[in-house]
Amino acid sequence: MAVITAVDTFDIRFPTSLSLDGSDAMNPDPDYSAAYVTITTDAGDGLTGHAFVFTIGRGNDVEVAAIRALRDHLEGADVDALLADMGRAARLLTHDSQLRWLGPEKGVMHMAIGAVLDALWDLRAKRAGEPLWLHLSRLSAEELVSVVDFRYLTDALTETEALEILRAAEPGRQERIRQLQAIGYPAYTTTPGWLGYSDDKLARLCREAVADGFPQIKLKVGADLDEDRRRLRIARENVPAGFPIAIDANQRWGVDEAIEWIRGVAEFDPAWVEEPTSPDDVLAHAAIARAVAPVRIATGEHVQNRIVFKQLLQAEGMAVMQIDATRVGGVNENIAHLLLAAKFGVPVCPHAGGVGLCEAVQHLAMFDFVAVSGSMDGRMIEFVDHLHEHFVTPVQVRRGRYLAPSSPGAGTEMLPASIAAHLWHEPVPATAEAPA
Amino acid sequence: MAVITAVDTFDIRFPTSLSLDGSDAMNPDPDYSAAYVTITTDAGDGLTGHAFVFTIGRGNDVEVAAIRALRDHLEGADVDALLADMGRAARLLTHDSQLRWLGPEKGVMHMAIGAVLDALWDLRAKRAGEPLWLHLSRLSAEELVSVVDFRYLTDALTETEALEILRAAEPGRQERIRQLQAIGYPAYTTTPGWLGYSDDKLARLCREAVADGFPQIKLKVGADLDEDRRRLRIARENVPAGFPIAIDANQRWGVDEAIEWIRGVAEFDPAWVEEPTSPDDVLAHAAIARAVAPVRIATGEHVQNRIVFKQLLQAEGMAVMQIDATRVGGVNENIAHLLLAAKFGVPVCPHAGGVGLCEAVQHLAMFDFVAVSGSMDGRMIEFVDHLHEHFVTPVQVRRGRYLAPSSPGAGTEMLPASIAAHLWHEPVPATAEAPA
């Protein structure tokens, strides 16, 4: 029997706040960071599982502490048994009755569980010698359903319905795998649109995005309406007529403000309006979506779990689902999201950027194309050209498309030199004594 | 100028899983714990602020790490300025743009912010020489509104409406203060109802609760319907006809299962059904509430923030609001909850138990009576007779009522000897090196 011999964690931070790359209305100065985990076994195959939670700086140490809190479930565990039943692996962590109190299934603890599960998926795909998207795309409908937790989902999606969705997509899997390997998957770029760029830089980056073959760009908005209208006008003047421009408010507004603001930019025909308000506010999303139709509302990068995604779909508050690779309970929960989106007929356009999110989430979108939705129509993965050089298998984006990864694993392994160079050290806090 | 000189944290755990006290369908073996924080200043008044996040064991260290991540905002800060504007203090912590990524406003990081704010409130009330409930009850409507974050609330409650609610309750504040000091506030007890107790013990504890003067008891349910019916029958046989018995499912069910289960116990006339499903699932609560009416649905101990409470009220998914003292962004956010409940005409019956939750939350319920709802009708605070002996000013419950605290502070200070005796030590993890 092979067992897990070590679960190691690393607090990795990049000083991205020194430039204005990545700035938006709610996140003015992010330091892109990874609470990183490696899983080592005594299998003797030389393979390790790697994954991370993406954060934007302060608090990365808290996320590392949360991953460490899971080690007792893993170290010494039979790794073959864990990898063979990833549904059980997820329950082992998510259903820890004491840790559950810290969520349940949300925030720091849930993201930590996601990272550990993703490290297991990385290891499993490496063992199979397949990139994760292909590995998932070759699993049976029954195996895929077995990794999903249907608790709190069945009023919208039952196990039987999930099986039907997956079985309906079984014919053509091989053809779609070949298609992906031949032409890749559409990408859109947020590079032109960060707040804080000069007008000239905005105009130039818009033109470059079109020239580079991207089918859509996205601009950050929400700090000032007049300024947003001015920047949207510049963007429109620097792309072809009818070119899709999405906008992203990063949760800036309440309901009335969102409606007013979106109406104020509607003439620029936004491809979607992203995160108009709190990711927790299903009813607000629904109210905004009704008021601004046919403008489409997109959200998801901060949606905490499948239960909130389910409600956003039930309430028709979201027309584009933006899954995030490291916000939720790992690949397992993201498969639930893909199934929910397919059930409700909503396209999935993953959130990416940060550090490693592009590398991770492309596998989920490609798996969706092969085995769940079976479609690329209206679907694309966000792309930001940041920090890819730190990964063993960085994304390859050509002419506005992600090329299908061919290396084994989940894409989530960083280079040892990058880890070593960006390891963040803080003085160990002195243990406080009980007050006298 | 006086400044904060230290923010110290303590990982305090009680081995409560060794008994079956506190066991329910989702939490079979809790070890009641506190991620505890003290705030020290150089004001020379000898006063320190104390507060905590309640957890149930594993992960208490993660919560401590989250509190530590807030120290840089506090150490060296002008304490008089912070205490004079608690709205600004809350924004300082909640709006840290990097830490916000770990929520936003939910889970481990949000609870940590709540503990720090509560320690400041404890210090502020001690400086005023007043118990927190009385201190809050003497603030002007404007001051109270200034501590609330109305972002994402205004579609249900505006600042103006909040002012109106508070002003409407201003006449009679003095009379209600006297009333509280004379007769206290109603309590109900969960002591009889934990899963795992023998039938004889259940029957005896029901009789004792009635004899002790409690106006309501509560039973845990949700593990097995036949067993729940049997236990409810025993409870009914041991209390007077018509005596209120609430039941608590601790998030056990999906929508259909909840409806079926609640109909299966409706003949026992539950005073409310608590946490029928996921605390994140607003639409499920609404569907269940519609289906089982007039049975009342209660929830809140796991509700992550004011945004979810707002929606539960908007969707009519909750007829009883059960605020928790340490789940959310401190006293500030709980004042938002009290205002929302008053706006929607829903009674607040706080969750308590654990360690120190009774001590903390009584202040909020009493403040609600004096200055917000102005009513005790249908309102009561949960009471569990656990671990009070570890507090400097333990709750006093007599004849089924919480006596109004008279000592200065928020009730959240533990005895130094208790802290020292229950400090939890784990080997310091070795710092992992970057992989070769």
Question: Rounded CA gap, B95 and B104, in Å?
Answer: 9
Based on the fold, state whether residues A60 and A184 are members of the same structural domain.
Answer: no
Of B8, B280, B284, the CB nearest to A305: B280
Chosen domain end from A73, A106, A130:
A130
Whether A136 maps to a domain, the answer reads no
Contact B8 A432 (CB under 8 A): yes
CATH of the domain at B398: 3.20.20.120
pTM of the full structure: 0.96
Q: Count the neighbouring beta carbons within 10 Å of the beta carbon of residue A389.
A: 8
Q: Say whether both B268 and B370 belong to one domain.
A: yes
What kind and span of H or E run contains B61? helix B60-68
Phi, psi of A337 (to 5 degrees): -65, -45
Q: Which amino acid is at B87?
A: G
- CB-based contacts of A301: which residues, under 8 Å, 6+ apart? A275, A279, A322, A324, A327, A351
Shared-domain flag, residues B122 and B261:
no
Residue A192 inside a domain? The answer is yes
Residue type, B211: A
Residues 6+ apart with CB under 8 A from B405: B131, B132, B133, B362, B363, B393, B395, B396, B411
B416 and A423 within 8 Å at the Cβ level: the answer is no
Distance (Å, whole) CA B142 – CA A171: 65
Query: For B199-222, how does the pLDDT look when each residue is reduced to its tens digit (9 = 90+)?
Result: 999 999 999 999 999 999 999 998
Q: Which residue has the tokens 């709205």?
A: B87
Residues A117 and A263 in one domain: no
Beta strands in B42-79 (DSSP E): 49-55
| Contacting residues of B for A428, CB less than 8 Å apart | 428
Spatial neighbors of B411 by CB under 8 A, at least 6 apart, are B131, B132, B356, B359, B360, B362, B363, B391, B393, B395, B405
Q: Which amino acid is at B314?
A: Q
The shortest C-alpha distance from B125 to chain A (Å) reads 20
Give CA angle at B277 (B271, B283), nearest 5°.
100
State chain B's mean pLDDT as an integer.
Answer: 95
Residue of A nearest to B38 (CA): A435
**B328 to each of A149, B146, B386, B435, how far by Cα in Å?**
26, 18, 22, 38
CA distance B283 to B176: 37
Task: Pick the residue from chain A with its C-alpha nearest to B97.
Answer: A27
At A435 the pLDDT is 47
**Which chain B residues touch A281 with a CB distance below 8 Å?**
152, 307, 310-311
Q: Is residue B151 part of a domain?
A: no
Residues B92 and B31 grouped into a single domain = yes
| CA B409 to mean position of chain CA atoms | 17
CB contact under 8 A, B38 and A63: no
Peptide bond into A171 cis (omega under 30): no
User: How many distinct structural domains can be found in chain A?
Assistant: 2
Nearest to A338 by CA among A350, A326, A327, A351: A350
Residue B18 sits in the same domain as residue B109: yes
pLDDT of residue B20: 55
Instruction: Match 């008279």 to its residue by tokens.
Output: B406
Do A103 and A109 form a contact (C-beta atoms < 8 A)? yes
**H-type helices in A75-221, by residue range?**
79-84, 86-94, 107-128, 132-137, 141-146, 159-168, 173-183, 199-211
Whole-angstrom distance, CA of residue A365 vs CA of residue B227: 46
CB-count exposure of residue B182 (10 Å: 0-12, 13-18, 19+): exposed
**Angle at the Cα of A219 (from A218 to A222), degrees rounded to 5?**
135
A307 and B283 Cβ atoms separated by less than 8 Å: no
- Per-residue pLDDT at B22: 61
Cross-sheet strand order for the sheet of B49-55: B4-13, B33-41, B49-55
- Distance between CA atoms of A367 and A147, rounded to whole angstroms? 15
Query: Chain A closest CA to B180's CA: distance in Å?
Result: 33
B-chain residues within 8 Å CB-CB of A315?
283
Residue ending a domain, among B83, B108, B130, is: B130
Residues B104 and B242 in one domain: no
Torsion A10-A15-A17-A23 (CA) sign = negative
Contacts with B103 from chain A: Cβ below 8 Å = 107
Of B101, B130, B159, the residue at which a domain comes to its end is B130
Show the DSSP H helices in A212-302 as ranges: 225-237, 255-265, 282-292
Residue B433 is assigned to a structural domain of this protein: no
Interface contact B26-A100, CB threshold 8 A: yes
Helix axes B282-292, A306-314, angle to 10 degrees: 70
CATH number of the domain that residue B106 is part of: 3.30.390.10
Cα dihedral A205→A206→A208→A210 (10° resolution): 160
Q: Which residues neighbour A157 within 8 Å (Cβ) at sequence distance 6 or greater?
A: A150, A310, A336, A339, A340, A343
Q: Which residues contact residue B234 at a Cβ distance below 8 angstroms, ignoring those fewer than 6 apart?
A: B199, B202, B203, B206
Query: Residue B84's CB: how many other CB atoms inside 10 A?
Result: 12
The domain of B354 spans 167-420
Contacts of B291 (CB under 8 A, 6+ apart): B259
Is A27's CB within 8 Å of B304's CB? Answer: no
Query: What's at B68, amino acid-wise?
Result: R
**Residue B226 in domain:** yes
Q: Which residue of A has its CA nearest to B413?
A: A435
- State the DSSP string of B234-296: HHHHTS-TT--EEEE-TT---HHHHHHHHHHHGGG-EEEEE--S-TT-HHHHHHHHHHHTTSP
Q: Which residues of A touch B251 (CB under 8 A)?
A: 104
pLDDT score recorded for residue A20: 54
Give φ, ψ of B238 to 5 degrees: -115, 15
> Helix, strand or coil for residue B56?
coil
Q: Is residue B145 part of a domain?
A: no
B240 close to B269: Cβ distance less than 8 angstroms:
no
Nearest-angstrom CA–CA distance, A257 and A272: 17
Give the mutation candidate from B98, B255, B311, B390 for the A interface (greatest A CB count, under 10 A).
B98
What residues in A contact B148, CB-CB < 8 Å? none
Residue A380 contacts residue A347 (beta carbons within 8 Å): no
Considering only CB atoms, A283 lies closest to which of B97, B279, B315, namely B315
Same domain, A174 and A121: no
Which chain B residues are within 8 Å of A256, Cβ to Cβ?
154-155
**In a shared domain, residues B326 and B384:** yes
Tell me: pLDDT of B48 over 80.
yes
Q: Over range B261-283, report the average pLDDT.
A: 98
Count residue pairs from A and B with Cβ separation < 8 A: 216
Cβ of A416 and B434 within 8 Å?
Answer: yes
| Residues of B labelled catalytic | 220, 351
Dist CA B20 CA A116 (whole Å) = 31
**pLDDT-flagged residues of chain A (< 50):** 427-432, 434-436
Are residue A187 and residue A69 in the same domain, yes or no? no
**Phi, psi at residue A54, to the nearest 5°?**
-80, 130
Asked if residues A336 and A310 have their Cβ atoms less than 8 Å apart, the reply is no
Asked if residue B149 is part of any domain, the answer here is no
Nearest CB to B98; choose among A30, A106, A111? A30
Q: How far is B171 from chain A (nearest CA, A)?
A: 33
User: Is residue B123 located within the same domain as residue B181?
Assistant: no
Position A333 scores a pLDDT of 98
CA R_g for chain B: 21
Provide the token pair at A114: 């996601």
For the cut 70, the answer to whether the pLDDT of residue B228 exceeds it is yes
pLDDT of residue B435: 47
* Residue range B315-339, pLDDT digits in tens: 999 999 999 999 999 999 999 999 9
For residue B39, the cross-strand partners are: B7, B49
CB nearest A254 (choices: B100, B151, B280): B151
> What single DSSP character describes residue B96?
-
Dist CA B147 CA B85 (whole Å): 7
List, in order, residues 6 or more apart from A257 with CB less than 8 Å away. none
Give the tens place of pLDDT for each residue, A49-107.
Answer: 999 999 999 999 999 999 999 999 999 999 999 999 999 999 999 999 999 999 999 99
Within-domain flag for A154: no
Does one domain contain both A213 and A348? yes
d(CA B132, CA B115): 15
Q: Name, in order, each residue with C-beta under 8 angstroms of B317's C-beta and a sequence gap of 6 or more.
A: B282, B283, B284, B285, B286, B288, B289, B297, B299, B311
